[in-house]
Amino acid sequence: MKYSLTSASPEMTRRLGEALGALLKGGDCVLLDGELGAGKTTFGGGVGLGLEIKEPLTSPTYLLCCEYIGRTRLLHLDAYFEERMDGLLCEGLVERFDRETVILVEWARKMQEWLPQDRLEIMFTGWADDRQIVFTASGARSQALLTAFSVNPSFSGAFSS
C-alpha cells in the first residue's frame, strides 16, 4: 500500500508527523529516508508531539539513538553513520525493538535488515515549500496505520495513491 502527498511547509511536515504519532503504539516501526534537509527530523519532531513526548526530539545523528518517554517509549535512531550503528545493534540495541516501543529511524535504508518486516516507510524528496512525501506500508499493522492516517480530515484531499 502506498500513498503520497506534497507538504507546502516545514510546519505542515511537522503536523503530518504529529498526526501519525497520535496513531502509533508500541511495536510500530517507522522508517524515514531522504537527502539531508529533506524533512526527516522535522517530521520526527511531529511524531514526538503525537506521542505526547514533552521534550523536543532532536536529530540523533552523533548519538545514534535517543530514547523518549511519552504515552509509549520511543527509540529515535539515526543510521547516517552506518558502521557505528551496526556496532550498536550488534551490542544489543536490537533487543530493545519490542512490543512496548515505537521505533523511528532516520536514514533507515542503511539498516533495513535489522528492522521488522511490518513497517511504514516514508521517503522525503524536495525542499521546505515543495516537499514530496511517499508513504509505503509493508505489513498488516502498517497498512492499517497508513489507512487511518490517510483519512485524517486535517489532510483531506492531500493524499494520492
In a domain, 159, yes or no: no
In a domain, 46, yes or no: yes
Q: How far apart are CA 32 and CA 122, in angstroms?
A: 5
In a domain, 35, yes or no: yes
User: What CATH number is given to the structural domain containing 120?
Assistant: 3.40.50.300
CA atoms lying within 13 Å on the CB side of residue 47: 29
User: 17: domain range?
Assistant: 2-151
Q: How far apart are CA 105 and CA 126, in angstroms?
A: 19
Number of domains in the chain: 1
In a domain, 71, yes or no: yes
Q: How many CB atoms lie within 10 A of CB 40?
A: 26
In a domain, 81, yes or no: yes
In a domain, 161, yes or no: no
pLDDT string in tens for the chain (161-residue length): 999 998 989 999 999 999 999 999 999 999 999 888 788 889 999 999 999 999 998 876 655 678 899 999 998 888 765 555 555 554 555 555 567 889 898 877 756 766 778 999 999 998 767 889 999 999 999 999 999 998 887 765 566 65
In a domain, 110, yes or no: yes
In a domain, 124, yes or no: yes
